[in-house]
Amino acid sequence: MSASEASKPLKVAIVGAGLTGLLTAHALKKNGFDVAVFDREHSIDARPRDWTILLHWALPAFTKLLPQEVVAKLPEAICNPNLDFDHEAESVVCYNGDTGNVLFKNHLPGSRRISRQKLRRVLAEGIDVKWDKRLESIDTGSGSDPVRLTFEDGETFEADYVLGSDGARSKVRELLFNGDKIAEVQPSGFMFGTCIVKFGDAAKVETVINTHPVAAIWMASNGVGGCGVMEVDDPEDKSTWTTFWVKIWRRSALNLPAVLYGPDALNFLKETTSGLVEKFQSQVDWTPEGSTSYIDEMKTWVSIPFDTRAGRVTLAGDAAHPMLIYRGQGFQHAIMDANNYLDALVKIRDAGEPREAVVSAYSDEMVERGAKAVKQSLQEAELSMDLESVGKMLMAKQGHGKSA
């Protein structure tokens, strides 16, 4: 190898420009790696769905991984950046949805609720994402070769390392398991319905924020749900604010409509949500026609170890550990993955540590942590379905902190 080849930065191909892929791309770029990011979508705006995500225990690691100019733009992603982030705003409250009594309240110092779409836009700045690149295959050749990625359009790309951050139905995971069914994401048996609402009425928005300034959870005899603020146009005029409400229920409890989005989803969610205490029920009943609505079955995959192809291919984020949304852990673990993957590649590059051992150690830790978090999320869902067992939930006993 010539001196100029030896000093070339290591080339990392990241498959998937969701939050995990974009965050990892910034972290690697900031530390001198040559990074290429690929995504199957046509553009950053191709997928209109949005949801809110609470950044909490992993927020310090998240900001540490990003360049200063991106950190400076993070307020653009916060659902309500104008709030006075006091003790109350940095908490999560859970109500009994039947009575309105507080079941428990967790303090999450420094936490911020963001829009997934807005954060993705902020994170995409400064990253040259190659759109319309759907990964089809990975050729790992012999252990010392670069890895060759082939996309649906026939284009290929070679890299020293490949990170699969391509979400719950990860193609990279499928390829790592040679197409074995054991790598397939599993339906959880729990449904998730969302309504994004613009009431155009300050008093109705007050009803939402009176439950909590950021977002509140309810647990009732016929399901679990929540509500909160999604976007603030004019901070002085609440009639311009966008709010959301969500609902989770056991799939077997209700017959689903044929179409799981749009008016059919909204009608179904309204018709099947009744008996809640006024402050939650009224939000459902007031939801205007035409509000964005969709229903999904939440999916999981309990992470299991895989062959990293001599330390050249691994996973991060939902590709590695898709879990239920309980306690908002999914992206927190993705941040840990990005942090640990960066550390692993730095060890290989700067300390000359062996590639296979280092990447396998990264992957093994992630699999163990991810599997535990996925199982915990399933257990939380089970316990949340009965008001009698809510008190046994991790959410009630030890809060939203790191538990895996």
Ligand X SMILES: Cc1cc2nc3c(=O)[nH]c(=O)nc-3n(C[C@H](O)[C@H](O)[C@H](O)COP(=O)(O)OP(=O)(O)OC[C@H]3O[C@@H](n4cnc5c(N)ncnc54)[C@H](O)[C@@H]3O)c2cc1C
Indicate whether 165 belongs to the interface with ligand X (CB under 6 A): yes
Indicate whether 402 belongs to the interface with ligand X (CB under 6 A): no
Side-chain half-sphere exposure of 384, counting CA atoms within 13 A:
29
Residue 129 or residue 238: which is nearer to ligand X going by CB?
A: 129
Indicate whether 39 belongs to the interface with ligand X (CB under 6 A): yes
Q: Kindly state the smallest distance separating residue 317's Cβ from ligand X, in Å.
A: 3
Residue 193 or residue 311: which is nearer to ligand X going by CB?
A: 193
CA distances from 324 to 19, 49, 125, 164, 376 (A): 17, 17, 29, 20, 9
Indicate whether 370 belongs to the interface with ligand X (CB under 6 A): no
- The sign of the CA dihedral 27, 33, 34, 36 is negative
| DSSP characters over 66-90 | S-HHHHTTGGGGBSSTTS---TTTT
Indicate whether 328 belongs to the interface with ligand X (CB under 6 A): yes
Footprint of ligand X on 259-318 (CB under 6 A): 317-318
Q: Kindly state the smallest distance separating residue 151's Cβ from ligand X, in Å.
A: 7
Indicate whether 166 belongs to the interface with ligand X (CB under 6 A): yes
Footprint of ligand X on 70-129 (CB under 6 A): 116
What are the structure tokens assigned to 302, written together? Answer: 């309990």
Footprint of ligand X on 42-61 (CB under 6 A): 51, 53-54
Residues 215 and 45: their CA atoms lie apart, in Å, by 25
Q: Kindly state the smallest distance separating residue 123's Cβ from ligand X, in Å.
A: 10
Q: Kindly state the smallest distance separating residue 397's Cβ from ligand X, in Å.
A: 19
Q: Kindly state the smallest distance separating residue 357's Cβ from ligand X, in Å.
A: 25
239 three-state secondary structure = helix
Residues 272 and 266: their CA atoms lie apart, in Å, by 10
Residues 361 and 292: their CA atoms lie apart, in Å, by 43
Which residues are near ligand X by CB under 6 A?
Answer: 15-21, 38-41, 51, 53-54, 116, 133-135, 165-167, 171, 317-318, 325, 328-332, 334
